[in-house]
């Protein structure tokens, strides 16, 4: 049992009349950094507590207060207020203020008496494990807390010669007024930075600089949440040393408030800015209320100065439901903070990736896992981060290190004890697991297995960071973009300057995201990763451990499908995590933000709705025009549509994607029953014969499958090609489901032993179907005419005078077996309309030459949908992305690994079109690595085909 000496009562008489909060604060000195008071019966306190929970670690205070209250047997309804004293995360004591009808004197019968300090008696409570004691300060005030702390406070107070004249804390008097606050904090200025700076602002230089100024110029701060019958207000007061300090601090804070307000207002007005910072899983419209709430918060904030005190005050809009307004503001600020912190995490990772690559270029290799002192154990040596300091912008730090000494040697402490923002994850804050040394939240990957860091680079388990020797770029056989360099950590943390596990570690025990090895970004759905080429990717939490192991090695030679398990961090990609992503950059090169745009074929009506010729609002009227059909027995569909277009002046088209889905070789004929019918009825009769629907599209009409209108179709897969496994198909489906080109219903895939069923957006399902059935997009007439003998038949035309374009089309469809369709949704956007005057003549010329010349007259292209179906359309009509399989057997025989081949394709075949550079291109590999399935647009696919042919011939 501890021994406590009694103190004569004469020396504490004056203290009995003083507010307990004042003298405890004074007696405790610098051990008091926060004071927390909360009235649980006031509901408005909860929203603020929710927002402040993370930076102030309030849960520790609330838990401690509850423990003290329970230990004393105090009922909540007997308390007027309670104050909790302590350092950040370390509560020491509570003052409980009882209601007027309650008495504290009777509590002196509890516990074991330890010591007397005049009229005060320190008593220990019965549970020795908690080491709690208490003292009755007056009839309505009770002090409960850690025994050693209470002893020091009571002893110091009792031995003060003249407590009434002792030096007062600059804001000590406000403690006595804490009962009018629902939440109240008071602390020394030096505690502001480690609390707010480390937890909320690490890595934000401008705000950190402001906090440092605050720390230099002010002594004390207090914050209170005030509630009365007609007013609610949050107040933050800073007591400065001099008037000049207060004025300067006021100017900085007001400037920051105005800049933040201006930025929020600009985001409200500019859609591009709003889209850029919208978190994943939300639309810009859903995020806008948060920005407006934050903007309102800055508008309703005032910064004032009086003498040496700077005051910041905020109050919500005075309206019914103001409690909800407070809650909304707190939630909005928390969401915005999380979004900004996630962005800053990316910025740190990106900076490390660029620095690592610059190091590799200058040093002709990546840094070793540890630096200097080869005779010392790795865990005592400086880390690889110390080698990177000049490339991170800290050349003077690097000069101050002595590699021959351990990382924590006195010779290195002036540098190794510094805070390094780039290694700090703002979502975790600045942490110290070794007192005096800041942790790193990013580590180098040594490979797979505990011994991987000591294996030679040629080992299939070796990673980019090696304890024995530097790894060169040539050692990375799997390709830099396919190899993990750095991973974030949120557990098993250690100093950034220390060698060994704190800064370089292997994958040893799955799961590898938020698992035993400590990897994680403090994001619930996954983590950021820096690849060896400097790109930053997001790895989902449910990643297959085998894939992670393949990524962690530099020469395993495995075929890894990076596209779904680790997509590059781009706008709205963070695996469902509600976080903002900045514009993507790769290896130091700026990449434009990925945008959604309409591509030809996305919708049956086309991407442009501008009316040409006949006004769009007259289409409905024209469809009601009646025609008398005498007899139309089995007329070719192409001819029927051309004639109806000619007679009605309505551009009539067939959706090309409908024809590609049905994979028909012939348009066939239509049969119309005689009688008087409207154009609408005739079209519906034609459509019904094929199971199609009639779709008015502004100033034209399209015949198509109903699934095109609904943008949802079911595909029953008869069989999978031999090189496409069920697992690979699911990977491709997941990737297409995350592309922005086709909004609407998500892709759904169901597989069992008997059947595979795929359902979702029409274009995505069509894309997958053409892959599985080994079909490719239509080719132009100029490229593929020789494959179709029917296109070579001779015909003659005599349109020497300008003739409506649609009349010539009708004639060609009447004279020849192949039928010509006109893609009006595309051609109308190019100012081509049915009545455009055209001349076209031919004398026994091959059919294909005549059709080609006709298309060139209107700057169009002819595509072959089948031997008997031609389409006149725009030249880029079928450039949209599709899936194509390529055999890699001959290419890999030239000595390339799958990873290295992937890297070369991305670098040499239209680099701007790949997902890593803001495009849409993705590469998938079969499990044996012998086949690549590539999702790209048609021009890039053509380039890839030629590139692989060159490689297979041995041409590098």
> Diameter of the chain by CA atoms?
128
The pairing of beta strand 652-654 with beta strand 700-704: parallel
Asked whether the beta carbons of 899 and 889 are under 8 A apart, the reply is no
Alpha-carbon distance of 342 to 426, in angstroms, equals 8
Rg for the chain (alpha carbons), in Å? 37
Let me know how many helices (H) and strands (E) the chain has, helices first.
Answer: 29, 40
Q: Phi/psi at 654 (nearest 5 deg)? A: -110, 135
Q: Over the stretch 354-413, which tens digit does the pLDDT of each residue have? A: 999 999 999 999 999 999 877 789 999 999 999 999 999 999 999 999 999 999 999 999
Residue-wise burial string across 772-809, b where 16 or more C-beta atoms lie within 10 A, e elsewhere? beeeebbebbeeebeebeebeeebebebeeebbbbbbb
The pairing of beta strand 869-873 with beta strand 819-822: parallel
Alpha-carbon distance of 215 to 226, in angstroms, equals 25
Alpha-carbon distance of 730 to 751, in angstroms, equals 10
Question: Would you give the DSSP letter of residue 705?
Answer: -
Alpha-carbon distance of 870 to 860, in angstroms, equals 13
- The structure tokens 């007001």 sit at 254
Q: Over the stretch 567-593, which tens digit does the pLDDT of each residue have? A: 555 433 333 333 223 233 333 444 444
Question: What pLDDT score does 353 carry?
Answer: 92
Q: Where are the beta strands (DSSP E) in 607-719?
A: 626-629, 632-636, 652-654, 669-672, 675-678, 693-697, 700-704, 713-717
pTM of the full structure: 0.64
Question: What pLDDT score does 933 carry?
Answer: 95
Band (45; pLDDT cuts 50, 70, 90): very low
Kindly list the distances between the CA atom of residue 156 and the CA atoms of 149, 153, 163, 535, in Å, as whole numbers in the listed order: 11, 5, 10, 59
Of these ranges, 74-88, 446-460, 592-606, the one predicted with the greatest mean pLDDT is: 446-460
Question: What pLDDT score does 86 carry?
Answer: 72
* For residues 501-528, average pLDDT: 93
**More confident: 314 or 554:** 554
By three-state DSSP, how is residue 30 classified?
Answer: helix
Q: Which tokens hold the place of 846?
A: 């091959």
- The structure tokens 């969401």 sit at 335
CB atoms within 10 A of CB 378: 20
- Dump the DSSP string for 892-909: HTTT--HHHHHHHHHHHS
Q: Is the pLDDT of residue 919 over 70?
A: yes
Lowest mean pLDDT among 41-55, 174-188, 327-341, 573-587: 573-587
Contacts 24+ apart (CB under 8 A), 852-855: 852/781, 852/782, 854/808, 854/812, 855/781
- Dump the DSSP string for 261-304: HHHHHHHHH-HHHHHHTPPTT--HHHHHHHHHHHHHHHHTEEEE
Q: Which tokens hold the place of 839?
A: 């001349």
Which residues are CB-contacts of 752 (< 8 A; sequence separation ≥ 6)?
none
Kindly list the distances between the CA atom of residue 515 and the CA atoms of 7, 478, 489, 491, 954, in Å, as whole numbers in the listed order: 55, 25, 10, 9, 44
**More confident: 75 or 520:** 520
Lowest mean pLDDT among 582-591, 634-643, 755-764: 582-591
Asked whether the beta carbons of 708 and 541 are under 8 A apart, the reply is no
Cis bond upstream, residue 511 (ω within 30): yes
- The structure tokens 């695996």 sit at 575
Asked whether the beta carbons of 426 and 202 are under 8 A apart, the reply is yes
Alpha-carbon distance of 488 to 137, in angstroms, equals 50
Question: What pLDDT score does 790 carry?
Answer: 66
């Amino acid at each position: 049992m501890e021994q406590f000496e009694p103190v004569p009562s004469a020396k504490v008489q004056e203290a009995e009349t003083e507010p307990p909060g004042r003298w405890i604060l004074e007696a405790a000195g610098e051990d008091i950094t926060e004071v927390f008071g909360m009235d649980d019966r006031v509901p408005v306190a909860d929203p603020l507590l929710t927002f402040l929970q993370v930076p102030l670690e309030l849960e520790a205070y609330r838990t401690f207060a509850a423990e003290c209250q329970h230990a004393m047997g105090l009922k909540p309804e007997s308390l007027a207020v309670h104050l909790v004293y302590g350092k950040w995360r370390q509560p020491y004591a509570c003052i409980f203020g009882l209601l007027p009808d309650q008495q504290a004197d009777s509590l002196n019968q509890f516990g074991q008496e330890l010591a007397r300090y005049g009229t005060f008696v320190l008593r220990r409570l019965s549970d020795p494990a908690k080491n709690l004691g208490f003292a009755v300060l007056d009839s309505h005030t009770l002090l409960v807390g850690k025994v050693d702390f209470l002893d020091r406070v009571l002893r110091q107070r009792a031995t003060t010669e003249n407590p009434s004249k002792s030096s007062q804390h600059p804001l000590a008097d406000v403690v006595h007024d804490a009962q009018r606050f629902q939440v109240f904090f008071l602390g020394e200025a030096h505690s502001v930075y480690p609390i707010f700076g480390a937890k909320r602002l690490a890595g934000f230089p401008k705000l950190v600089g402001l906090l440092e100024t605050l720390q230099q110029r002010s002594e004390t701060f207090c914050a209170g949440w005030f509630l009365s019958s007609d007013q609610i207000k949050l107040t933050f007061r800073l007591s400065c040393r001099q008037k000049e300090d207060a004025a300067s601090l006021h100017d900085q804070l007001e400037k920051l408030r105005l800049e933040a307000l201006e930025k929020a207002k600009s985001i409200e007005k500019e859609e591009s800015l709003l889209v850029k910072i919208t978190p994943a899983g939300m639309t810009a419209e859903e995020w806008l209320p948060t920005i407006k709430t934050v903007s309102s918060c800055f508008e309703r904030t005032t910064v004032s100065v009086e003498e040496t005190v700077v005051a910041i005050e905020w109050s919500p809009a005075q309206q019914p439901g103001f409690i909800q307004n407070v809650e909304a503001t707190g939630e909005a600020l928390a969401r915005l903070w999380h979004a900004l912190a996630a962005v800053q995490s990316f910025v740190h990772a990106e900076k490390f990736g660029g620095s690592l690559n610059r190091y590799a270029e200058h040093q002709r290799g990546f840094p070793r896992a540890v630096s200097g002192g080869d005779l010392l154990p790795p865990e005592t040596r400086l880390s690889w981060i110390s080698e990177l300091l000049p490339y991170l912008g800290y050349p003077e730090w690097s000069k101050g290190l002595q590699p021959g000494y351990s990382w924590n040697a006195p010779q290195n402490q002036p540098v190794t004890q510094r805070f390094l923002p780039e290694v700090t994850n703002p979502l975790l804050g600045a942490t110290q697991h070794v007192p005096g040394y800041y942790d790193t939240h990013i580590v180098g990957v040594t490979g797979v297995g505990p011994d991987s860091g000591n294996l030679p680079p040629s080992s299939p388990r070796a990673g980019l960071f090696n304890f024995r020797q530097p790894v060169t770029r040539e050692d990375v056989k799997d390709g830099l973009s396919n190899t993990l360099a750095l991973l974030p950590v949120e557990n098993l943390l250690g100093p950034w300057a220390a060698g060994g596990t704190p800064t370089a570690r292997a994958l040893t025990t799955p799961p590898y995201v938020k698992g035993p090895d400590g990897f994680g970004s403090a994001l619930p759905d996954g983590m950021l990763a820096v690849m060896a080429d400097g790109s930053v990717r997001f790895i989902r939490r449910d990643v297959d451990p085998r894939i992670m192991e393949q990524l962690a090695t530099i020469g395993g030679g495995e075929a890894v499908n990076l596209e779904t398990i680790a997509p590059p961090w781009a706008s709205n990609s963070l695996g469902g995590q509600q976080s903002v992503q900045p514009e993507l950059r790769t290896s130091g090169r700026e990449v434009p933000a990925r945008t959604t745009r309409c591509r030809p074929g996305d919708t049956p009506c086309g991407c442009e709705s501008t009316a040409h010729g006949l006004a769009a609002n007259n289409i409905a009227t024209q469809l009601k025009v009646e025609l008398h059909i005498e007899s139309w027995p089995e007329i070719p569909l192409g001819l029927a549509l051309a004639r109806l277009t000619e007679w009605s002046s309505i551009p009539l088209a067939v959706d090309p994607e409908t024809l590609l889905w049905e994979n028909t070789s012939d348009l066939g004929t239509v049969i119309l029953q005689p009688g008087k019918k409207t154009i609408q009825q005739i079209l519906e009769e034609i459509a019904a014969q094929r199971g199609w629907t009639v779709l008015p599209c502004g100033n034209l009409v399209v015949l198509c499958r109903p699934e095109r209108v609904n943008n949802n179709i079911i595909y029953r897969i008869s069989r999978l090609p031999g090189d496409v496994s069920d697992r690979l198909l699911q990977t491709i489906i997941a990737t297409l489901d995350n592309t922005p080109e086709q909004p609407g219903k998500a892709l759904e895939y169901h597989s069992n032993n008997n059947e595979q069923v795929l359902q979702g957006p029409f274009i995505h399902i069509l894309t997958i179907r053409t892959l599985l059935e080994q079909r490719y997009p239509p080719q132009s007439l100029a490229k593929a005419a020789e494959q179709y003998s029917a296109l070579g038949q001779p015909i003659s035309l005599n349109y020497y005078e300008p003739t409506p374009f649609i009349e010539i089309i009708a004639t060609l469809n009447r004279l020849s077996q192949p039928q010509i369709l006109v893609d009006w949704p595309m051609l109308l956007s190019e100012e081509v309309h049915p009545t455009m005057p055209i001349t076209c003549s031919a004398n026994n010329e091959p059919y294909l030459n005549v059709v080609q010349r006709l298309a060139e007259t209107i700057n169009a292209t002819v595509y072959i949908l089948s031997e008997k179906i031609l389409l006149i359309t725009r030249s880029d009509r079928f450039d949209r992305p599709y899936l194509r399989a390529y055999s890699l057997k001959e290419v890999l025989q030239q000595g390339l690994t799958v990873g290295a081949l992937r890297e070369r394709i991305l670098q040499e075949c239209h680099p701007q079109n790949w997902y890593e550079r803001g495009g849409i291109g993705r590469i998938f590999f079969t499990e044996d690595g012998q086949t690549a399935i590539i999702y790209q647009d048609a021009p890039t696919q053509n380039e890839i085909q030629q590139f692989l042919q060159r490689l297979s011939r041995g041409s590098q």
